[in-house]
């Protein structure tokens, strides 16, 4: 049995894990490694990629910087989240704002320090990335559409670090990147519809608040239609192995998404739409394994 002090400590650990969204970081880390093995460096032996120390420090620096980014974003959104996410906000508030800031600076220092092992260019890259996250959370987030665009860009930036490391400029990589970018951008705009109550209370100038829900839904509709383009290219133009079935599933889900988007008008509806896009993104990470099933089977056997 845990005593009261240990229970409080456990709750604080869970609170910090919630603030940094540890589950998201785990998925991003896995995605970076799978993308390296199957998309960015498919000609290299799996063992060589997995035990590449330079790749490890780049992925580690990414994870630390992202964790810091979630903390500073949570710091600036604390009051808004009380309205938009009351349950999560109660858990997050178990850790003081001072402790969050201290952890934020520590994580960023560790990220830059880890990057220094790879190269000075990596240090500059992650320093700029950390500054970009702070500037987005402090200023850009409140600017309609610009905030959404920057947020989506920052979300795929860690993959850009690995992309540059392997210097692979195949067209298929840009198709994957465009697919992911459009999905994340649409998800960011759906979140604005979800969070209208808190955004209005804190004077955030988001698209649905300034121009109305109808126009915001119209922009999301356009983004989803555009997402169908790289999906079709990845099915018919590029060789992505059995991952083709994933993109077929995506097209079906995105068409369902469009129908639901037209009919949606409550926060509950927008949460469902957000979850559909989140499912597509997370499923996409694991679907990378389908690019070369023989490689997976050989590793298992």
Q: Do 119 and 21 share a domain, yes or no?
A: yes
pTM for the model: 0.91
Residue 210 structure tokens: 């300034």
Give residue 300's pLDDT: 42
Q: Is residue 152 part of a domain?
A: no
Give residue 29's pLDDT: 94
Q: Do 197 and 210 share a domain, yes or no?
A: yes
228-233 average pLDDT score: 96
**pLDDT tens, position by position, 1-40:** 556 666 666 666 677 777 777 788 999 999 999 999 998 8
Note down the domain range covering 121: 1-146+157-167
Better pLDDT: 42 or 18: 42
CATH number at residue 129: 1.10.357
Q: Do 124 and 174 share a domain, yes or no?
A: no
Residue 27 structure tokens: 């998925």
Number of alpha carbons in the 13 Å side-chain half-sphere of residue 216: 26
Q: How many whole angstroms separate alpha carbon 294 and alpha carbon 301? A: 10
42-57 average pLDDT score: 91
Those residues with Cβ within 8 angstroms of residue 20's Cβ, 6 or more apart along the chain or in another chain: 67, 70, 71
Q: Do 40 and 96 share a domain, yes or no?
A: yes
How many domains is the chain partitioned into structurally?
A: 2
Q: Do 202 and 141 share a domain, yes or no?
A: no
């Amino acid at each position: 049995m845990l005593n009261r002090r240990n229970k409080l400590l456990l709750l604080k650990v869970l609170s910090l894990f919630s603030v940094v969204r540890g589950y998201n970081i785990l998925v991003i880390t896995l995605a970076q490694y799978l993308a390296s093995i199957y998309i960015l460096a498919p000609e290299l032996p799996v063992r060589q990629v997995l035990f590449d120390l330079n790749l490890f420090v780049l992925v580690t620096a990414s994870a630390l910087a992202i964790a810091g980014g979630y903390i500073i974003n949570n710091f600036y959104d604390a009051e808004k989240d009380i309205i938009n996410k009351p349950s999560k906000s109660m858990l997050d508030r178990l850790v003081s704002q001072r402790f969050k800031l201290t952890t934020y600076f520590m994580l960023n220092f560790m990220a830059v320090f880890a990057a220094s092992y790879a190269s000075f260019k990596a240090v500059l890259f992650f320093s700029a990335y950390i500054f970009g996250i702070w500037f987005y959370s402090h200023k850009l987030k409140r600017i309609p559409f610009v905030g959404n665009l920057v947020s989506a860009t920052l979300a795929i930036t860690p993959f850009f670090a690995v992309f540059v490391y392997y210097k692979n400029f195949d067209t298929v990589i840009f198709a994957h990147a465009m697919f992911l970018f459009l999905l994340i951008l649409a998800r960011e705009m759906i979140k604005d519809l979800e969070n209208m109550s808190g955004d209005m209370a804190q004077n955030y100038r988001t698209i649905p608040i300034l121009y109305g829900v109808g126009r915001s839904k119209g922009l999301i509709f356009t983004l989803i239609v555009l997402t169908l383009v790289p999906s079709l290219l990845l099915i018919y133009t590029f060789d992505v192995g059995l991952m083709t079935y994933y993109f077929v599933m995506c097209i079906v889900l995105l068409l369902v998404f469009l129908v639901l988007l037209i009919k949606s008008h409550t926060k509950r509806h927008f949460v469902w739409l957000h979850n559909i896009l989140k499912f597509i993104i997370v499923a996409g990470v694991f679907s990378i394994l389908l690019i070369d099933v023989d490689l997976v089977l050989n590793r298992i056997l």
